[in-house]
Amino acid sequence: MDELDTALLRILQNDARRTNRDMAAELGIAPSTCLERIRTLRERGVISGYHAAVDLKAIDRAMQAIISIKLRPQAMAVATAFQDYVMQLPQTLDMFMVSGASDFLAHVAVKDAQALRDLVLDLAKRQEIADIRSSVVFEHQHRTTVLPL
């Protein structure tokens, strides 16, 4: 990763729809150089995909929460199956396997408090859950650009 690769990552993360010619002009390089650098970043796995950012309020999922989950038994097969289950739920945005008091933190987005209550109660019915707690997210800041340190 050099300065040009980092600059390309910054541009693409801010707007992945920019044209190759536009990015090349901004960086003062030939379009063929720009195209080759981006291709190399994809091949090396630095760029893993391109995604559209969605406004959760616009799709009626304005309430976000973090659900803290403790499993029993603490076996990898149980954890993997549970993680797969939660990731297929349409409310799930992110899932983190963590150390400490919880085994998982699930970041979810739902319509309202009633929908959050229903989700938590449905999850709590699962026999592998030893403890479940939810925290409403009042504000969420999300970094859209991540560059090498």
Class of the domain covering 3-43:
mainly alpha
Q: Which residues of 115-137 are buried (b: 16+ CB within 10 A; e: fewer)?
A: bbeebbeebeeeebbeebebeee
CATH 1.10.10.10 segments of the chain: 3-43
Per-residue pLDDT 10s for the chain (149 aa) are: 999 999 999 999 999 999 999 999 999 999 999 999 999 999 999 999 998 889 999 999 999 999 999 999 889 999 999 999 999 999 999 999 999 999 999 999 999 999 999 999 999 999 999 999 999 999 999 888 888 88
The per-residue pLDDT for 77 is 95
For 20, the token pair is 């190759």
CATH architecture classification, 56-137:
2-Layer Sandwich (3.30)
The per-residue pLDDT for 2 is 95
* pTM of the full structure: 0.85
H or E stretch including 34? Answer: helix 31-43
CATH 3.30.70.920 segments of the chain: 56-137
Which amino acid does the sequence have at 137? V
The per-residue pLDDT for 88 is 98
